[in-house]
Amino acid sequence: MTTSKLSSRDRLDGFFGIRASGSTVRTEVLGGLSTFLAMSYIVLVNPAILAKGGFPWYAAFVATALVSGLATNAMGLWARLPFAVAPGMEINALVVFSVIGTHGFTWEQALGLVFWSGVLMIAVTAAGWRGRVVDAIPEEVRPGLVLSVGAFVGLVGPKVAGLVGGGPWPQALAAGAVLALLDRENLGKAVEGISWPTILLVAGMVTYVGVLEHSGTIDWVAHGAVGLGAPLLVALVLCVIVGVTSAFASSTAILTATIPMAIPLLLTGSLPVVGVVAAMAISTTIVDVSPFSTNGALVLANARGVDRTRFYRQVISYTCVIVGLGPIAAWAVLVLPGSF
């Protein structure tokens, strides 16, 4: 009797039942990365909202990251379902702006209420009532619930980040809604002509950077980097970080988020300003050959007459080399000579 050794891919598939559900390991990995990039904003936005109600920002930050990580791992390893779990934005806003802001509870009392609401939810779920409540919601209303959460995040995020205040943005939204109602026949054509990826990129980038600035993250990281006393090393680390991160995310967004972190470093006068900015820009864009980026995905999708699996591995290997050596080369050519 012979026994065959299962590969790590087969063991992974056997544990999660990936093929049985009609998926592949590659699809699940890409889905996980996409979900992480789509949800990672909550690690900064959630503490920013809770801080409005008196919660310690750093404690809320650690709790958000810890709870999200543990709950998501439990969902994947115990329930074996590809779902990411994180604190609900709408509930946190209810606690901060209603329970604390309107009714005058302290944040410690509000946490007590949250605890007992969780106990009640577990009891309702165990009794089988939760499913009945969900089933009682009309099918026509359910998409509206999802859209309302998205609209809430889209409005509260810029508000908490300090990007909007008493300006005309509510009037602009109201005007857009009125125009949509008055000309419903051409609404579909107008929506189809909108470049949603560009809008999402710009809006997400501006909101993300605004939240970083509002929470003090950029200043904290920047001054911490300056405090290390090794500007050349810090510049190299920044180039490598933006290079690796850009292989899985938008190069423009990453560059916009990291340039403010480099400003205190540039103000020391020990590094060439143009060289550092150029090196960071090259580090973020040189990795566009990655199959996880737009350009790399297009190259992989349009490859003809090749073994796709082998070609994919070759592209991955080439990407690793570029990500590892590109930022270092940019730093060595553009930053290192100008620092002496």
Residue 165 sits in the same domain as residue 257:
no
AA identity, residue 296: G
**In this predicted model, what pLDDT tens digit does every residue of 208-244 receive, in sequence order?**
666 766 767 666 766 666 666 677 787 888 888 878 7
pTM: 0.45
Residue 190 sits in the same domain as residue 70:
yes
Examine residue 208 and state whether it is found in any structural domain, yes or no: no
54, 62 contact by CB (below 8 A): no
Residue 188 sits in the same domain as residue 251:
no
Residue 170 sits in the same domain as residue 256:
no
Among residues 139, 161, 194, the one where a domain terminates is 194
Q: Which two tokens stand for residue 227?
A: 């405090």
Examine residue 204 and state whether it is found in any structural domain, yes or no: no
In angstroms, the Cα distances linking 92 to 56, 76, 246 are 14, 24, 31
What does each of the 340 residues of the chain score in pLDDT, given as a tens digit?
A: 444 456 677 777 778 888 888 888 888 888 888 788 777 778 877 888 888 888 888 888 888 889 888 988 888 888 888 888 888 776 787 888 888 888 888 888 888 888 888 888 888 888 888 777 777 777 766 666 666 666 666 666 555 555 555 555 555 666 666 666 666 666 666 667 666 666 666 666 666 666 766 767 666 766 666 666 677 787 888 888 878 777 666 666 677 667 777 777 777 777 788 888 888 888 887 776 666 666 666 676 677 777 777 877 777 787 778 777 888 888 888 888 776 6
Residue 184 sits in the same domain as residue 224:
no
63, 175 contact by CB (below 8 A): no
Residue 143 sits in the same domain as residue 64:
yes
Residue 61 sits in the same domain as residue 120:
yes
Residue 190 sits in the same domain as residue 228:
no
Across 129-145, b (16+ Cβ under 10 Å) vs e yields eeeeeeeeeeeeeeeee
Examine residue 173 and state whether it is found in any structural domain, yes or no: yes
Residue 140 sits in the same domain as residue 179:
yes
Among residues 194, 229, 247, the one where a domain terminates is 194
Examine residue 200 and state whether it is found in any structural domain, yes or no: no
Q: Which two tokens stand for residue 4?
A: 């065959």
Residue 63 sits in the same domain as residue 166:
yes
286 class by beta-carbon count within 10 Å (0-12 exposed, 13-18 middle, 19+ buried) = buried
Residue 190 sits in the same domain as residue 45:
yes
Of 238, 221, 250, give the one whose Cα is nearest residue 327. Answer: 238
Dist. CA 123–CA 199, nearest whole Å? 42
Query: Residue 253: its pLDDT value, please?
Result: 67
Tell me the three-class secondary structure of the chain, residue by residue.
CCCCCCCHHHHHHHHHCCHHHCCCHHHHHHHHHHHHHHHCCHHHHHHHHHHCCCCCHHHHHHHHHHHHHHHHHHHHHCCCCCCCCCCCHHHHHHHHHHHHCCCCCCHHHHHHHHHHHHHHHHHHHHCCHHHHHHHHCCCCCHHHHHHHHHHHHHHHHHHHCCCCCCCCHHHHHHHHHHHHHHCCCCHHHHHHCCCHHHHHHHHHHHHHHHHHHHHCHHHHHHHHHHHCCCHHHHHHHHHHHHHHHHCCCCHHHHHHHHHHHHHHHHHCCCCCHHHHHHHHHHHHHHHHHCCCCHHHHHHHHCCCCCCHHHHHHHHHHHHHHHHHHHHHHHHHHHCCHHHC
Query: Residue 3: its pLDDT value, please?
Result: 45
In angstroms, the Cα distances linking 170 to 121, 129, 166, 229, 325 are 35, 39, 9, 46, 47
Residue 178 sits in the same domain as residue 224:
no
Query: Residue 335: its pLDDT value, please?
Result: 83
Examine residue 1 and state whether it is found in any structural domain, yes or no: no
Examine residue 13 and state whether it is found in any structural domain, yes or no: no
Which residues span the domain enclosing 174? Answer: 40-194
Number of independent structural domains in the chain? 2
Examine residue 23 and state whether it is found in any structural domain, yes or no: no
246, 285 contact by CB (below 8 A): yes
Among residues 133, 161, 194, the one where a domain terminates is 194
Examine residue 281 and state whether it is found in any structural domain, yes or no: yes
Dist. CA 150–CA 44, nearest whole Å? 17
